[in-house]
């Protein structure tokens, strides 16, 4: 039986995912509860990061947990302050379920924002954390990883997405084309 979650993760095709989010201006008890519910949704997906727009909330924050002993983290109104290097990662997205592609992103980034207590935070990230932050920040800017792909990857991804959407809608797969000819 599927696990019940507070929110459903929106999938590609939903216009909310292509809209830039507004800054968070108020961190109160309601906001903290929203973050807790997002963690529940993220773990059930399962994922390591979840941006507010992915659950239909147009605010600039995301939750994450790398499972590396640092625990649950919330980054509010994040900004990338610098970057260096370049690395290709095999990346997936909860809003594009079941698909993974090689995406090129900066290897190291500088980040600033606010934590759940409203404190300003500033740090450097590399490897998985840098990739996660860049991926979630893209969601806050209304960018899906499809826009980070080269043309061939994007065509392949869009074809797979259409197939998944048709399957989910119960549309039967087309019969393979047959050629008929007559022998004389």
Read off the pLDDT of residues 93-114 as tens digits, 9 standing for 90 and up: 999 888 888 899 999 999 999 9
Active-site positions read: 136
Choose which CATH entry (1.10.3720.10, 3.40.50.720, 3.40.1550.10, 3.90.45.10) describes domain 15-168: 3.90.45.10
The pLDDT score that the predictor gives to residue 1 is 46
Phi, psi of 57 (to 5 degrees): -100, 115
Mean pLDDT value across the chain? 89
Distance CA 47, CA 164 (A): 20
Top pLDDT among 130 and 164 is at 130
- For the chain, domain boundaries: 15-168
The pLDDT of residue 111 is: 98
- The closest of 133, 141, 142, 21 to 73, measured between CA atoms, is 133
Between 26 and 184, the more confident residue is: 26
Look at residue 19 and tell me whether its pLDDT is greater than 90.
yes
CA distance 145 to 17: 11
Taking the C-alpha atoms of residue 40 and residue 26, their distance in angstroms, rounded to an integer, is 22
User: 51 is written with which tokens?
Assistant: 């941006």
How much is the pLDDT for 112? 98
């Amino acid at each position: 039986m599927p696990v019940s979650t507070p929110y459903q993760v929106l999938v590609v095709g939903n216009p909310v995912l292509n809209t830039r989010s507004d800054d968070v201006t108020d961190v109160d008890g309601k906001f903290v509860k929203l973050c807790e519910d997002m963690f529940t949704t993220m773990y059930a997906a399962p994922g390591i990061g979840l941006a507010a727009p992915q659950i239909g909330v147009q605010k600039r924050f995301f939750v994450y947990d790398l499972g590396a002993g640092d625990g649950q983290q919330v980054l509010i109104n994040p900004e990338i302050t610098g970057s260096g290097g370049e690395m290709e990662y095999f990346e997936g997205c909860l809003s594009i379920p079941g698909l993974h592609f090689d995406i090129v992103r900066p290897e190291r980034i500088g980040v600033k924002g606010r934590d759940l207590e409203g404190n300003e935070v500033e740090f450097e990230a590399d490897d998985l954390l840098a990739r996660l932050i860049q991926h979630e920040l893209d969601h806050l800017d209304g960018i899906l990883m499809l826009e980070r792909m080269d043309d061939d990857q994007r065509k392949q991804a869009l074809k797979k997405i259409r197939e998944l959407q048709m399957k989910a809608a119960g549309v039967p797969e087309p019969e393979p084309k047959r050629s008929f000819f007559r022998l004389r």
